[in-house]
Homo-oligomer: A and B are copies of this chain.
Amino acid sequence: MGQTIVMKFGGTSVADAERIANVARRVQREVKAGNRVAVVVSAMAGVTNQLVAQVDSIDRMPDQAEYDVVVASGEQVTVGLTAIALHKLGLKARSWLGWQIPIRTDSAHAAARIDAIDGDQLSRRMAKGEVQVVAGFQGVTAEGRVATLGRGGSDTSAVALAAALKADRCDIYTDVDGVYTCDPRIVGKAQKLAKVTFEEMLEMASSGAKVLHPRSVEIAMNHRVRLQVLSSFEDKPGTLVVDEDEIVEQAVVSGIAFTRNEAKVTLQRVADRPGVAAAVFGPLADAGINVDMIVQSASLDGKSTDITFTIGRAELPRALEVLKAIKRKVKFDRAATDAEISKVSVIGTGMRSHAGVARRMFETLAKNGINIQAISTSEIKISVLIEEKFTELALRALHTAYGLDSA
């Protein structure tokens, strides 16, 4: 009978004619194995950045709907080229843009969310052996406008399509060969995980691991889409992202993630009275600025306190504008900022049933002379904020401390 498979190829996997031919051969192998295949492709590596630069050169604050028209063109090129490469191998293939399927999104241009995908026509064609080549990253709004999902959106397209097609598997082909316990470029002893749970993958993706987009993991988790991350250049097994009950022996900590993309803001000597937090974080939320960690120190004099929080580094200028606007109302001495920080997170579903995970983290960092500036935790994750220059040291020390080093 064969399986229904969605294969997603990112920008580096379709970067030139030769690589697109390679993609076509991988697809051919699945078709020959009797599977029904839909392929989701990104824009060729570098193309989206070029398109964004073209928009920037005209207006740095463009109409988002028109921005989407421009940047969505990158995937349009790739679907056509991929379909042509598939034809060349003698396969039946057809390309699809967001509006043709359609992939319905909301109207939040440049960061749209998929509302619905009509998979019927694609399913019928796949059943006849035709490969469906779908443009990632894009959809169409109820108003008939082109919308894009924001960076990394092609992963989301692939998983949502897999859900719509009730696919047996969604294979994310990329330039790494799977999900590692930590970034192998920094921690040489990092190991590839054979399996990881949706929850862990979601925390990893949200904590800086770039292998999958968080939104795509969220959809996969909600629709129980079996995800696989694997290399488009090498022939070896990747990492399966699966339900927790598929993993018999769960490690306490399965991975260590990090991000250098945050900035820390400290409001010094804020009046210590009810409603202050709301007065600060309400306007930031209204401005669309995502606040990650928040630490409020105990009041020393009973009158004022310090509030520290982190935001995306790119949003720092906008955040400072917001703070300037509310300063008269909220009352604080000054907003001190620090962009030279990084966030390190240890992640593992096994944490739920094991005590002492946090303590080991704090002890390991202390032993290495690394000061913790802020802490935030979830059920399966502990994140700390540290000085950026200690990032590599912290990652390697924690990797060893949690027994993740390869032999």
- Interface residue ranges, A against B (CB under 8 Å): 16-17, 20-21, 51, 54-55, 57-59, 62-63, 66-70, 72-74, 76-77, 79-81, 83-85, 87-88, 94-95, 97, 99-100, 144-146
Contacts and interface: CB of A to CB of B under 8 A. Distances in A.
Contacts of A77: 51, 54, 70, 73
A-B pairs with lowest CB-CB distance, top 5: A69-B80, A70-B80, A17-B57, A73-B73, A73-B76
Contacts of A73: 73-74, 76-77, 80
A120 B83 CA distance: 35
A58 B82 CA distance: 9
A54 B95 contact: no
A84 B16 CA distance: 30
Contact of A63 (B16, B72, B83): B83
Q: How often does this chain occur in the complex, in copies?
A: 2
A68 B79 CA distance: 11
Main secondary structure of the interface of A (DSSP, over half): helix
A59 B80 contact: no
Contacts of A68: 80
Contact of A99 (B17, B58, B99): B99
A84 B57 contact: no
B76 A59 contact: no
A96 B79 CA distance: 21
19 contacts: A16-B57, A17-B54, A17-B57, A17-B58, A20-B58, A55-B80, A58-B84, A63-B84, A66-B80, A66-B81, A67-B84, A69-B76, A69-B79, A69-B80, A72-B76, A73-B76, A73-B77, A76-B76, A100-B145
Contact of A59 (B54, B70, B84, B146): B84
Nearest to A71: B80
A62 B76 contact: no
Contacts of A83: 63, 66, 69
A17 B63 CA distance: 16
B84 A55 contact: yes
A17 B62 CA distance: 13
Contact of A95 (B69, B79, B87, B100): B69
Given A17-B57, A144-B100, A76 B70 contact: yes
Best-surrounded residue of A84, A94, A146 (most CB of chain B within 10 A) = A84
A58 B100 contact: no
A100 B102 CA distance: 13
A84 B72 contact: no
A99 B16 CA distance: 28
Given A20-B58, A73-B73, A95 B66 contact: yes
A66 B84 contact: yes
Contacts of A17: 54, 57-58
B72 A59 contact: no
A135 B402 CA distance: 57
A66 B73 CA distance: 14
A20 B56 CA distance: 13
